[in-house]
Structure 1
């Protein structure tokens, strides 16, 4: 069955790297699966009660984002009954491209799952604002020359990280939801009002 999707985009799909839909990686999938079955919350769960929301699994996974840089929006069901939808993944990859160079990379689906699960736990009605998804090596080097906070081997360059903001939730709330997924790194950037999520080693930083 074809998923129901609502996509608004100003650009056409461009050439992409080979996609890997099979994401049988070392990440703790069991913890993430249950986040999609979470009941509604008005705020992010604390780590002490997160286990109650990390049981079972959902039938669909959805991602909602907009970009202030490109003016594009995406509202996409990308996983249905145990399978990723290739067409949806291609749209996500394009949306999360490096807007400075228009470079597209296959995003690591583990990061998309963390983003989706955290949004589910927050029970927010509005989409994420995507500040940064994939970064080309050139873009990362340029940003690194301007800020000490940009890592030389940033996971953004590997398509494994995203910087996100939610208007109706605080940085701490979004970060707690992402941490509850226990799927990767979570960084709080309260001054700049965004949360970094990645599928690397489980760790936290910032305030």
Structure 2
């Protein structure tokens, strides 16, 4: 066997794992992140690619800002994109890429938050719903405890468990948890 041929074959074989790794990481970096939601109060539905690789999709985020509006007043804010990342990661860890979240509540205007504080318990004065950093969600056919346990395992933001009200609160604030 020719020495040049041997060295060339050896170098080619050695570079294959690096090449495969490069192709895989490029494919992963360009992966589309899709979220699906149904809003229980407005009956709106949305399926959206909100991020491709490391790039948030501006038009998708604008649609999500509207979708996550205060359903009582119609007011909307810019939602924290990290909330969508958290929701995506919960969905992915639960193993169903086509899962659709039911949204109970997301953004709350100051007027709505004040009204809820007066009429029901457990509503924080400085709720992260006010800043577009929180959503109350569930999956139609999945026990809430799975969502809670998955979100707690991610160790990102707040996780509130409300089995009597049939939702899990997720937010992008400090890591903490509450509820039964």
TM-score using structure 1 length: 0.70
Write the distance in 2 (CA, Å) between the matches of 1:205 and 1:118: 18
1:149 aligns with 2:158: no
Write the distance in 2 (CA, Å) between the matches of 1:188 and 1:58: 34
Write the distance in 2 (CA, Å) between the matches of 1:206 and 1:129: 20
Q: CA-to-partner distance for each residue in 1:49-105, whole Å, 9 max, x for gaps?
A: xxxxxxx87722221110121111011111002100000000000000001110010
Count of equivalent residues:
152
Write the distance in 1 (CA, Å) between the matches of 2:64 and 2:153: 23
Write the distance in 2 (CA, Å) between the matches of 1:85 and 1:129: 22
Q: Secondary structure at the match of 1:183?
A: coil
Aligned to 2:55: 83
Mapping 1:101-112, distance limit 5 Å: 101-112=73-84
Aligned to 1:117: 89
Write the distance in 1 (CA, Å) between the matches of 2:79 and 2:29: 22
Q: Secondary structure at the match of 2:116?
A: helix
TM-score using structure 2 length: 0.80
CA 1:172–1:57 in structure 2 vs 1: closer, same or farther (change >3 Å)?
Answer: farther
Write the distance in 1 (CA, Å) between the matches of 2:148 and 2:49: 23
Which of 152, 155, 158 is the equivalent residue of 1:182?
A: 155
Q: How well do the aligned residues superpose, as a CA RMSD in angstroms? A: 1.4
Runs of 4+ in 1 over 6 A off after TM superposition: none
Write the distance in 2 (CA, Å) between the matches of 1:197 and 1:78: 18
- Is the radius of gyration larger for structure 1 or structure 2? 2
Write the distance in 2 (CA, Å) between the matches of 1:175 and 1:58: 29
Write the distance in 1 (CA, Å) between the matches of 2:146 and 2:177: 14
Aligned to 1:202: 175
Aligned to 1:131: 104
Contact 2:29 2:54 in 1 (8 A): no
Mapping 1:7-46, distance limit 5 Å: none
